[in-house]
Amino acid sequence: MQGQNQQQAYDRGTTIFSPDGRLYQVEYAREAVERGSPSLGVRTEDGVVLVAEQRVRSPLMEQSSIEKLHKVDDHIAVGSAGHVADARQLTDFARQQAQVDRLRYGEPIGVETLAGAVTDHIQEYTQTGGARPFGVSLLIAGVEDGEPRLFETDPSGTATEWAASAVGADREAIHDSLETNYRADADLDGGIDTALRALASVRDAFEPSEVTIATIDVETEQYRTLDDDEIEAHLDEIDFEDDDE
């Protein structure tokens, strides 16, 4: 561990290692992720669940335009946390990869393949000069050969697979809740509750308008978002932070 001045000597670009082998710009990009409101993913027997929190800054703002869940292909979607414009760039990149694969091979892209392509793209921004890393982490959820898959990317360009995970602010506390409550044999509704409960563990309360929920079903292999009534119904079942702490 080095002092402040030492660190500053090595943290201005992606093209240098610090003496102890760290890439500070990548670590700072992770801080950008921590600044963003969280997205969560939960894998269940029946499919994958994505939940994202959005901070509505004004009643005049359209909630839909700040939602962080996006369909990439029929059977794949992403959630994100961090620098919003970077997330859109990576989502666009993911969509192009999915289209190219469909055109080239005539079948839907695999979730793991897509996660690999996205993280390859991210890694390049951490090794070559003239650019900064992407300040965003993605959750890439989908169904592949009838199996639900959930991947997470980080600003270094690493992809990891999870049963359930979260990116963004309060990540550690949310993870604690997920680890406690996760059941592999839950159905989609159960997965949604697990995710909302984890988010609720770090919030006093939230409105249906403050969360987006989406699922990808192993049967239909289709992306689907829940409407406000459905969200409301799920929220009714959740205990919030001030309750259970």
Nearer to a second copy, 131 or 233 (CB): 131
Nearer to a second copy, 70 or 234 (CB): 70
Nearer to a second copy, 120 or 242 (CB): 120
Binding mask 22-61 for a second copy (x = CB under 8 A): xxxx--xxxxxxxx----------------------xxxx
Site for a second copy in 116-155 (CB under 8 A): 116, 119-120, 122-123, 125-135, 151
Binding of a second copy by 13 (CB under 8 A): yes
Classify 108 as helix, strand or coil. coil
Q: Pick the binder of a second copy from 100, 104, 138, 175 (CB under 8 A).
A: 175
Nearer to a second copy, 141 or 235 (CB): 141
End-to-end CA separation in angstroms for the chain? 35
**Long-range Cβ contact pairs of 68-74 (< 8 A, separation 24 or more):** 68/37, 68/39, 68/212, 69/39, 69/212, 69/213, 69/214, 69/225, 71/223, 72/98, 72/114, 72/140, 72/142, 73/98, 73/99, 73/102, 73/108, 73/109, 73/142, 74/108, 74/221, 74/222, 74/223
Binding of a second copy by 9 (CB under 8 A): yes
Residues making up the chain, counted from first to last:
245
Binding mask 200-229 for a second copy (x = CB under 8 A): ------------------------------
Asked if residue 4 lies in contact with residue 18, where contact means CB atoms within 8 angstroms, the answer is no
Binding mask 181-200 for a second copy (x = CB under 8 A): -x------------------
Nearer to a second copy, 9 or 233 (CB): 9
Classify 184 as helix, strand or coil. coil
Q: Pick the binder of a second copy from 157, 168, 190, 208 (CB under 8 A).
A: 157
For residue 16, what are its two tokens? 């240098």
For residue 182, what are its two tokens? 């996760």
Kindly determine how many residues on this chain lie close enough to bind a second copy according to the rule CB under 8 A. Answer: 74
